[in-house]
Amino acid sequence: MASLKVGDVAPPIVASTHDGKPFRLDALRGQPVVIYFYPRAFTPVCTVETRMFRDRHDEIARYGAQVVGVSTDAQDTQCEFAQRESVQFPLIADPDQKIARDYRVKWPLLGRAQRVTFVIDRQGKIAARIHHDLSAERHVKGVLEELTRLSASEPASASESSRA
């Protein structure tokens, strides 16, 4: 199955967050959403990536964007990881790999998600797909570049209201 491309509609996500709250991607329609997939909580690169999204969260939020992390770990692992890393955004467990399959980021032999980040625009379409297995920094940098581009292409009234 081919990778999702820029312009494709983002597949729906209905799940529970690390703290047990319901999450529906369609409920965020009208604002940009950053969905980053990572292979495994508590591993070195995944921890660095999560910390980078945590540390740049306020900057990302200035664009009106919501950050969501997804891995194929179990719910209790996501909860522990979120607490240990003090994340202020939802982490979603995907132990049955449904979300990873829907987003076409599942490693076939490993049964884990690849390190892929999607920026979803206000209309629910994929605006960017960032895939670097070992460079967490490229993911955050790519997200900020895409959010800047999306912000510049919005009508002034929408851009101003998203930052209010």
Which backbone phi and psi does 85 adopt, to 5 degrees?
-95, 5
Do the beta carbons of residue 18 and residue 93 sit within 8 Å? yes
Q: Under 8 Å CB-to-CB from 105, ≥6 apart: which residues?
A: 37, 113, 114, 116
- What is the CATH T-level fold of the domain 14-151, as seen in this structure? Glutaredoxin (3.40.30)
What pLDDT does residue 156 have?
47
Distance from chain centroid for Cα 130: 10
What pLDDT does residue 44 have?
93
Q: Based on the residue annotation, tell me whether 79 is a catalytic residue of this protein.
A: no
Per domain, the residue ranges of the chain are 14-151
Between CA 106 and CA 101 the distance in angstroms is: 6
From 28, 35, 46, 119, the catalytic residue: 46
Low-confidence residues of the chain, pLDDT below 50?
Answer: 156-164
